[in-house]
């Protein structure tokens, strides 16, 4: 953290102090860029900027990376974490409403991160508390901190987050990581290639938004045809837990399996991303390819979350 903060960074920091992070839509494209430059300041060792602060991590859905990277980020900034990783052991299992849980826990913490299976749950939770709240994923809707770490990874790998051709592959119907990143990359000015089985296409509403924005996009089921054109291939897991009919899942569960031979069809410099966890959609033989960026994404999640926690707590240097 050597270079002094720029005025534009300080202005954004001031704006974010005490605020919530619910959706990528709350940011303008310039703010996303500024956020990425702030995140870079949190690389490496950190000062105990959040000493004595407490994060409540309330996870009503499974998580590994999001929860543990928030916990680690808080620990590395000198703060501590309370919460649960399994709603089955919280009073939610006794029928307590989300709003009541939030109102109780707010007296034990300084900010929240919440993951919940219901779309809109993060916004509802934020409305129930005066504490800052971060959406760690709400149903199929949004996963804004995943998007920030995705953008940060693209920025580091390719050197820019605009003017790229980005392929989204897999479950574009239910995947919240894809939904958030589609919105942000459209806003930043990229061309989107939406590659999915017909039954898992990006919802109409979201495609309509791309059209209204004037984002160049294409929808296709054909990965082999699309791959030579891409700068980024963003692979996603088929979201089994969101299917209403398990048979529908069975039909598409092996729709795409990306392996080394597949990615070798990409142009020079194309990177392969995935929010993880993967099931079988990326073969482990891609891991040793220089194109593989997914483990780096998970690692960058720590840096991004340190920055966000410090910003919301108004604890910048
Ligand atoms: C994603 C999620 O939970 O939406 N995981 C993550 O946070 N890295 C992606 C997924 O579960 O497929």
Residue nearest to atom 2 of ligand 1 (CA): 177
Atom of ligand 1 nearest to the CA of 65: 8
Please report the pLDDT score of residue 87 as a whole number. Answer: 86
Question: Which has the closest alpha carbon to 263: 164, 169, 127?
Answer: 169
Q: From CA 4, how far away is CA 316, in angstroms rounded?
A: 12
Which residues have C-beta atoms less than 6 Å from ligand 1? 65-66, 137, 143, 146, 176-177, 237, 275-276
What's the pLDDT score for residue 130? 97
Query: Residues in the chain with pLDDT < 50?
Result: 1
* C-alpha torsion angle, residues 120, 123, 127, 131 (rounded to 10): 140
95: left (phi over 0), alpha (psi -120 to 50) or beta: left
Atom of ligand 1 nearest to the CA of 237: 12
CB 223 within 8 A of CB 172: no
First-residue to last-residue Cα distance in the chain = 8
Of the candidates 152, 147, 153, 151, the one whose C-alpha atom is nearest the C-alpha of residue 175 is: 147
- Report whether 282 contacts 294 (CB < 8 A): yes
Report how far residue 233's alpha carbon sits from residue 207's, in angstroms, rounded to the nearest whole number.
19
Give the DSSP H/E element, type plus range, for residue 258: none
pLDDT at 60: 96
Task: List the catalytic residues.
Answer: 65-66, 94, 115, 143
Question: Residue of the nearest CA to atom 8 in ligand 1?
Answer: 275
C-alpha to C-alpha distance for 59 and 69, rounded to whole angstroms: 13
pLDDT at position 93 is: 84
28-31: long-range pairs with CB below 8 Å, 24+: 28/187, 29/187, 29/188, 29/189
Domains within the chain, CATH numbers bracketed: 7-142+300-312 (3.40.50.1370), 144-298 (3.40.50.1370)
Minimum-distance ligand 1 atom for the alpha carbon of 66: 7
- Best of 69, 114, 141, 143 for a ligand 1 pocket test (most atoms within 8 Å of beta carbon): 143
| H-run or E-run covering 251 | helix 246-252
Strand partners, 79: none
pLDDT value, residue 88: 87
Best mutation site among 150, 177, 274, 305 for ligand 1, i.e. most ligand atoms within 8 A of its Cβ? 177
2-11 pLDDT tens trace: 689 999 999 9
């Amino acid at each position: 953290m050597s270079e002094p903060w720029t005025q534009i960074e300080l202005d954004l920091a001031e704006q974010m102090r005490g605020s919530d992070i619910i959706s990528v839509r709350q940011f303008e494209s310039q703010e996303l860029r500024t956020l990425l430059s702030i995140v870079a300041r949190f690389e490496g060792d950190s000062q105990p900027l959040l000493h004595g602060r407490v994060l409540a991590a309330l996870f009503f859905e499974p998580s590994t990376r999001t929860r543990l990277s928030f916990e680690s980020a808080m620990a590395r900034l000198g703060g501590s974490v309370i919460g649960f990783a399994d709603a089955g052991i919280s009073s939610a299992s006794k029928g307590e409403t989300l709003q009541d849980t939030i109102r109780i826990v707010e007296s034990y913490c300084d900010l929240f991160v919440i993951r919940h299976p219901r779309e809109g749950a993060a916004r509802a939770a934020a409305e129930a508390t005066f504490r800052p709240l971060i959406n760690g994923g709400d149903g199929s809707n949004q996963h804004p901190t995943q998007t920030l770490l995705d953008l940060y990874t693209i920025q580091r790998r390719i050197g820019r987050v605009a003017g790229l051709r980005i392929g989204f592959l897999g479950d574009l119907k239910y995947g919240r990581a894809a939904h958030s990143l589609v919105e942000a990359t459209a806003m930043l000015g990229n061309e989107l290639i939406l590659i999915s089985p017909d039954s898992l296409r990006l919802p109409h509403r979201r495609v309509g938004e791309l059209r209204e924005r004037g984002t160049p996009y294409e929808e296709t089921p054909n990965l082999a045809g699309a791959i030579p054109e891409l700068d980024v291939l963003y692979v996603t897991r088929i979201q089994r837990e969101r299917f209403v009919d398990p048979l529908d899942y069975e039909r598409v569960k092996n729709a795409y399996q990306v392996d080394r031979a597949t990615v070798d069809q990409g142009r020079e410099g194309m990177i392969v991303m995935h929010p993880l966890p993967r099931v079988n959609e990326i073969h482990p033989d891609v891991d040793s390819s220089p194109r593989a960026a997914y483990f780096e994404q998970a690692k960058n999640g720590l840096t991004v979350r340190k920055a966000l926690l410090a910003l919301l707590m108004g604890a910048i240097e």
